Structure 1
Amino acid sequence: MKADDLFMKEIRKSRTFILGAGFSAGAGVPLTAELLSKAMSKFENECNGIFQRVNNYARECFEIDENEVVDYSKVGFLELCTFLEYIELKEYGGGERWSSNGSKEKINLRYFLAKTLIEITPSENDIPRIYIDFVNELHERDIVISFNWDPLLERALDFVNKAYTYTYEDKKITICKLHGSVNWRLGEAPDYAKSPIDLGWKSMKYTEGMMDKEMYFSTSVLSKHHWFNGIRNSEIEPFLVLPGYGKSFDVRANAVMWYKPEFVFGSTHDVYIIGLSLAPDDFFIRSYFLSTLPYLTDSIATHKRTIHIINPDQSVEDNYSFVTKTQQCVIHCEYFDIKHIDSMRKNRQSA
C-alpha cells in the first residue's frame, strides 16, 4: 500500500468528539441551574463574607427585595456572571481589583462551582457503564473537544488506564477543554499563596507562543482529597470560563486551546457532537464551528465524513441549521446511549 493510502487509512480511523453539558448529565453531573444552586450553598457555608457580597449583587441584578431569599435555581446564571463582570470593571477602574485573575467574587464563585463538580462527579468505581464503554472506544488518534468543566472524562480514562493529554503528546488521547477545567489554574500561585503540599502543577506551554501568562494543570487536583480535607488549599484557583459577556475576556487566557484544534477537522473522519445544546447567543462556539467545520469538505470523495449530533433537545435541528445546511449530518434527537457507542465502533472498523 502506498504511503499516501496508509496515511488516509489512519485518518479514516480518527474521530473528533465534541462534548457539551448534556454528555455528563447521565452521570448525575448537574446542569447550570442545579449546579449554581448547589455551589452557592457551599459558598454561603464556607466563605460567608464574600458570599454576602455576591448575594447582594444578585439582589441588584434581579431586583430582589431584601426580605426575599435569592433562589439560585431560578436566577439566570449568565445574567449574574455578566453583572459580576460589571462590578469587576468598576473595581479595576478604581484600582480595587484583588487579583489579575479577577475579583474576589468571581474567583470564589469559580472555586465553589469547581468544588461542587469535584464532589458530585462520580469517583472512578461509581462511573456509569456507558462512560466506561465510551472511553474504551477512544484511541490515541481521537481528539476530544469539551466545553465541560467537570472531571468525568479524566476519571473514566484513569479508570481504564488510558493516557490522555491536554497538550498534544504522542500515544495519548488529546483532550481540548475550551472552557477550562476544575484542575487548571492561570499563572503561578504567588509566594504568599504557596501550599506546603505539592500539587504537581504542570505547564501547558502557552507561553512558548505569544501568550504572556502560563496555564497549569494538576492531575492530583482531580482527587476529592485536596478539596475536602478541612483546609482550603490556596493554590487551587480553578480556571473556568464563566458565561456572560465576561467570556470574551476569559477565553483569551485560553486562546491556545482554541487555536490548536483549528485544523482538526482536516485530519479526522467522523465527528460526534454529544450533549452540546448550542444557545443562539453562544457566539464563540458558533464561530468556532463556522470557521473550522468547512475543513471536513476537503475529504477523500470516496470516504465522506459525517457529523453525528446526539442531543434530545427538540430544538437541536434549528440550533444547528447553520451546520446541517453545509455539512453531511445525521441528527439523533435522543439521549446519548450505548447504541451510539456501538455505532461509533462499527463506523471505525469499517472505515
Structure 2
Amino acid sequence: MSEHPGYRIFVLGAGFSQPAGLPLAGNLFEKVVQIIENQYGRKTKFQTDLDEFKRYARDTRTSLDLESFMSYLDIEHYLKLRGSKTFNEEGNESQIMIRRAIGKIIQIFTPSAEALPKVYYKFVEKLRPHDIILTLNYDLILERVLEHLGIPFRLFPMRYSEVSDDFAIGDSSKDEIIILKLHGSVDWFDEREFRHMQNKLEDFDGRVVTHPVFSDPNKYQASPIVEGPRFPDDNLKNIYRIKKIDEFYIEDTSFEAPFILAPSAIKFVYAKPLMEFWHGLGRAGAANLGLSVIGFSLPSHDEYIRILLFKIAENYKSLWNTPFLNTLKEEIKVIDFRKNQNEKNVLLERYSFFHSSEECFWFEGFNEKSVNFLFKKSRK
C-alpha cells in the first residue's frame, strides 16, 4: 500500500488528551480554586470576584462553573467595567490567576514523553508532512511525542523565504507537520505587556520592570514560536515558547500567566495575538485529503468553532471525486465518547452539517482502535 501524501486536517478537543489523564473542563474549577488559594491565600481579589460571581449566579440562575465564571470576568475586563481600576491589557487579577492556575494544573497532569500512552505514538506515527492539526487544547502532548520521535513540525501557518511590506514568498523547502494551537499553550508567553511596562517605567524614572521569561530568555530557554522572515505587523512574533516548562511551573512565583484563551463563551475576543492562525482558515478544506475531529463535542457555546468547521466542511466536499496526488478525499470522521444511543444522537445532531453517515462516527473515545478507524482508507 502506498504512503498517504498527507494534506489532512485534524481538529483536536479535550477528549484527545483524556487518555493521558488530563482533567476535562468540568473538573478544572475546583483544582483552579485550590491552586490559587494555596499560592495566594483566601483574602485576594480572586476570592472577592468569586463571591460576587456566586451572588450573580444565584440571582440570575447561571451555572456555577469555570466557563461561566471566566465569561463573567472576560466581559467585565473587555468592556473595562472597572474603568481606571482595570488591571492591565492582559486581564484583571482574577483572570491572570486563573490562566496561571490552568497552566500549572495541565502541566502537572501531562506525562513525560516516555510515560505517555501508546495511542499518541500510534497517532503521530501515521501523520505525514503537510498534515494540519488544529488543536483547542493547551497541553504539550503532541509536541512531546513529535520531539521524542524526531519528527519535524512547526507551530505557525506559513513559512516564508522573503517578506516585504505588502507581499511574501512562501518557503516550502521543509517537510513538516503543522500544529496550530488556536487557544494558546501552557508554554507560550506574550511579551507585549512586559515591553509596554518596561518602556513606560524607563520613560518615567529609569526603573526597570522584570519578567520571569523575558528578563532572561535563557533561563527557561525562550524563543519565538515563529521562524524566518515575518511581516512587520505579525503579532505571532510577540509569542514565545519556553522549553523548560516544568522548571517554570515549579520554580516561578511571579504573577505572570501563559498565553491561553481560558474557558469562556467570549474567549475569542482575546484572540488578536493569534489572528494569523485564523486568517483565511475558513477557506481551508478544498485542497485537503482528510478532515477529522477528535474529542470535541461541539457544545453550543462554541459557536465560533461550529462556524469554522461548517466552512471547512463545505469547502472539503468540493472536488469530491477529483484525485489529488493520486488520492481521493476520505469521508469526514468524528471520534468522541458516548455512553448510549441518546448521547450518540446528540453528537450526530451537532455534526449534522458534516452530512456524514453514522458509520463515520466512533463513539468509544480516543483509543488505539480509533486510530485504526481514523486512518483506514475507504475511498480508493
Letter in 1 for 2:101: F
Q: 1:232 aligns with which of 253, 262, 266?
A: 253
Q: Distance in 2 between matches of 1:213 and 1:136?
A: 28
Deviation (angstroms), 1:40: 2.1
Q: Is the 8 A contact 2:189 2:257 kept in 1?
A: yes
Deviation at 1:320, TM superposition (A): 1.1
Partner of 1:68: none
Of 179, 186, 201, 1:182 maps to 186
TM-score normalised according to structure 1 size: 0.83
Deviations 1:177-213 (A, max 9, x none): 1111112223343341333352322153897275568
**Aligned ranges 1:86-125 → 2 under 5 Å:** 86-89=75-78, 94-125=83-114
Distance 1:239 1:207, change over 3 A: farther
Deviations 1:80-126 (A, max 9, x none): 01221244257565222222211122112111101111111111111
1:155 aligned to 2:149? no
Partners of 1:337 and 1:213 lie apart in 2 by: 33
**C-alpha root-mean-square deviation of aligned residues, in Å?**
3.0
- Tell me the equivalent position of 1:34: 27
Q: Find the counterpart in structure 2 of residue 347 from structure 1.
A: 377
Equivalent in the alignment of 1:335: 365
- Partner of residue 208 from structure 1, selected from 231, 239, 259: 231
Residue 250 (structure 1) aligned to one of 270, 274, 297: 270
Segments of structure 1 that go 5 or more residues without pairing to the other structure are 1-8, 66-73
Amino acid at match of 2:109: I
Q: Provide Cα deviations, 1:233-288, integer angstroms capped at 9, x if missing partner.
A: 66x53111123344141123322111254333122112110000110121110111
Matched, 1:322 2:372: no
For residues 215 and 345 of structure 1, the distance between their equivalents in structure 2, rounded to whole angstroms, comes to 36
SS in 2 for 1:239: coil
Distance 1:151 1:128 in 2: 14
Aligned residues between the structures: 329
Whether 1:294 and 2:283 are equivalent positions in the alignment is no
Of 333, 337, 341, the residue aligned with 1:312 is 337
Residues of 1 paired with 2:100 and 2:13: CA distance? 21
Aligned-residue identity in percent: 22
SS in 2 for 1:237: coil
Answer whether contact 2:285 2:316 (CA < 8 A) is retained.
yes
Q: How much has 1:41 moved relative to structure 2? A: 1.1
Q: What is the identity, as a one-letter code, of the residue corresponding to 1:312?
A: F
Q: Is the 8 A contact 1:185 1:239 kept in 2?
A: yes
Offset from partner CA, 1:52-80 (integer Å, 9 cap, x none): 32223222222299xxxxxxxx9311210
Q: 1:289-319: per-residue Cα shift (whole Å, max 9, x none)?
A: 1222211122241534311001123221121
In structure 1, the residue corresponding to 2:282 is in which secondary structure?
helix
The partner residue of 1:277 within 288, 291, 297 is 297
Distance (whole Å) between structure 2 residues aligned to residue 76 and residue 209 of structure 1: 40
> Which range is displaced more, 247-256 or 305-314?
247-256
Change (3 A) 1:160 1:290: same
Q: How big is the shift at 1:12?
A: 5.6
Match of 1:267 in 2: 287
Using the alignment, how far apart are the partners of 1:129 and 1:164 within structure 2?
Answer: 20
Distance 1:161 1:207, change over 3 A: closer
TM-score by length of 2: 0.77
Read off the aligned partner of 2:52 and give its amino acid letter: E
Separation (CA, whole Å) in 2 of partners of 1:13 and 1:86: 41
- Counterpart of 2:47? 55
Change (3 A) 1:245 1:16: closer
The answer on whether the counterparts of 2:265 and 2:302 sit within 8 Å (CA) in structure 1 is no
User: Hey, what does 2:204 align to over in structure 1?
Assistant: none
**Bigger shift: 21-30 or 88-97?**
88-97
Which residue of 2 is the match for residue 193 of structure 1?
A: 210
